[in-house]
């Protein structure tokens, strides 16, 4: 039998799982904004309960709008299935709880997203006696040295969203599989448009959809993508029982966003590269941490596992004077001060604001972050306007 060619990503995100025939031909699918589904008989609901994962009974389990968005995301990431959650942290917790048992050991990175670090190192350590080893994750020997007999999960974030270092995904997943260890990777930064960890051996991919997948700074959501068996288990356990579910309206917004994801990612990349190149040559900048720059120490590795680069990166100002750093940030007009990233608008956030409140200075420095670091989420505005904004802020500091 002739195999149909897989459509291009842009085509897939426009047409896959839209189910127009069942929706009066509506060009944009309606929202199933309902909590429950009714059945015509005892027998019908009884049959539905026999396969509660595939049937719509109650929206804490399955909802058609949420399922359509999940199908699109799974296809895009080359996964068998996906489960959307009410936030990225709900998705990350579900993925970890799915694999971990009491007393297991996890290997992860010093620079993972702060609340993921807290979940592992404080919450799960306290509640489930989970032990965690934190490494830089740049050299393979670090992974080999960190693995123990009870290591169950290697948790990656590639690149890390604090200092943008990469891990060699293929090498790590090869090592993990050989030792019977599961790999979970936070792929929020690159998105499946630029990086597909499931095709490189990862068991599970997680995202904060509040970033590029949502892309418009108007929703909070998360997703877990993996094989059918794992996602089915997560659906009936962590999803239904812990209940951090996805709302139909947010799922509908994500479908809206996915239709333009490839276009947006290309523009984020183009803008970020131009801004990073401008910063790289600036006398008031010590270093730029953007994996898309040829001068980046891991540029060759990046090219092997990513086909593009998103819009989030940081740079370090030469000055260490806190007043000058504050003046620089306060002088920006287009880059608005705010947490999070991945939306249409450009943002600035100096990690020192939160880390210096939450962490002891030694830990902050051990993570490789400097007090002079400035994180930018480069949005979809005109790139020259963004560069002019930065240039004028530089003129305010010595």
Ligand X SMILES: Cc1ncc(COP(=O)(O)O)c(C=O)c1O
Interface residues with ligand X (CB under 6 A)? 87-89, 113, 157, 161, 186, 188, 208, 210, 220, 222, 340
**Beta carbon nearer to ligand X, 63 or 117:** 117
CB of 342 to ligand X, least distance (A): 8
Residue 292: which of 312, 273, 319 has the closest Cα?
Answer: 273
**Joined tokens for residue 328:** 């620089």
**Beta carbon nearer to ligand X, 310 or 372:** 310
DSSP state of 149: T
**Beta carbon nearer to ligand X, 36 or 339:** 339
**Beta carbon nearer to ligand X, 278 or 341:** 341
Work out the burial of residue 181: count CB atoms within 10 Å of its CB; fewer than 13 is exposed, 13-18 middle, 19 or more buried. buried
Distance CA 384, CA 120 (A): 41
**Which residues have C-beta within 8 Å of that of residue 169, sequence separation ≥ 6?**
156, 158, 185, 195, 197, 200, 201, 202, 305
CB of 111 to ligand X, least distance (A): 10
Contact 353, 326 (CB under 8 A): no
**Beta carbon nearer to ligand X, 346 or 383:** 346
CB of 222 to ligand X, least distance (A): 5
Q: How far is CA 288 from the centre of its chain?
A: 21
**Beta carbon nearer to ligand X, 87 or 310:** 87
CB of 124 to ligand X, least distance (A): 16
| 47-85 b/e (C-beta count within 10 Å ≥ 16 → b) | ebeeeebebbbebebbbbbbbbbbbbbbbbbebbbbbbb
Query: Is residue 374 helix, strand or coil?
Result: strand
CB of 192 to ligand X, least distance (A): 15
Q: How far is CA 324 from the centre of its chain?
A: 32
Distance CA 53, CA 330 (A): 50
CB of 280 to ligand X, least distance (A): 24
């Amino acid at each position: 039998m002739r195999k149909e060619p897989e459509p291009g990503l842009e085509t897939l995100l426009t047409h896959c799982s839209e189910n127009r025939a069942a929706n009066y031909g509506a060009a944009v699918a309606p929202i199933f904004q309902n909590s429950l589904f009714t059945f015509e008989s005892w027998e019908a609901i009884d049959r539905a309960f026999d396969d509660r994962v595939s049937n719509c009974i109650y929206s804490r389990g399955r909802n058609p709008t949420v399922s359509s968005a999940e199908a699109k995301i799974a296809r895009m990431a080359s996964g068998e299935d996906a489960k959307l959650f009410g936030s990225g942290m709900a998705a990350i917790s579900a993925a970890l709880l799915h694999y971990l048992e009491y007393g297991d050991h996890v290997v992860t990175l010093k620079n993972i997203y702060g609340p993921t670090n807290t979940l592992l190192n404080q919450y799960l350590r306290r509640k489930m006696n989970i032990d965690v080893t934190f490494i830089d994750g740049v050299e393979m020997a670090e992974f080999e040295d960190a693995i123990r007999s009870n290591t169950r999960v290697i948790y990656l974030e590639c690149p890390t969203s604090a200092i943008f270092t990469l891990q060699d995904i293929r090498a790590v997943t090869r090592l993990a599989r050989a030792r019977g260890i599961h790999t979970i990777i936070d792929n929020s930064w690159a998105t499946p448009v630029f990086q597909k960890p499931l095709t490189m051996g990862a068991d599970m991919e997680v995202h904060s959809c509040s970033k590029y997948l949502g892309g418009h700074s108007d929703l909070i959501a998360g997703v877990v993508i993996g094989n059918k068996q794992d996602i089915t288990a997560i659906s009936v356990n962590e999803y239904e029982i812990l209940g951090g579910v996805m709302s139909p309206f947010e799922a509908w917004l994500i479908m809206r966003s996915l239709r333009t994801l490839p276009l947006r990612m290309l523009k984020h990349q183009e803008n970020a590269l131009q801004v990073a190149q401008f910063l790289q040559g600036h006398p008031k900048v010590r270093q730029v941490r953007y994996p898309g720059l040829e001068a980046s120490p891991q540029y060759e590795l990046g090219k092997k596992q990513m086909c593009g680069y998103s819009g989030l990166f940081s740079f370090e100002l030469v000055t260490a004077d806190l007043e000058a750093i504050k003046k620089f940030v306060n002088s920006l007009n287009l880059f608005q001060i705010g947490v999070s990233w991945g939306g249409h608008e450009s943002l600035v956030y100096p990690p020192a604001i939160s880390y210096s409140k939450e962490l002891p200075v030694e830990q902050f420095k051990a993570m490789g972050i400097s007090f002079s670091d400035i994180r930018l989420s480069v949005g979809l505005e005109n790139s020259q306007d963004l560069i002019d904004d930065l240039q004028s802020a530089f003129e305010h500091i010595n």
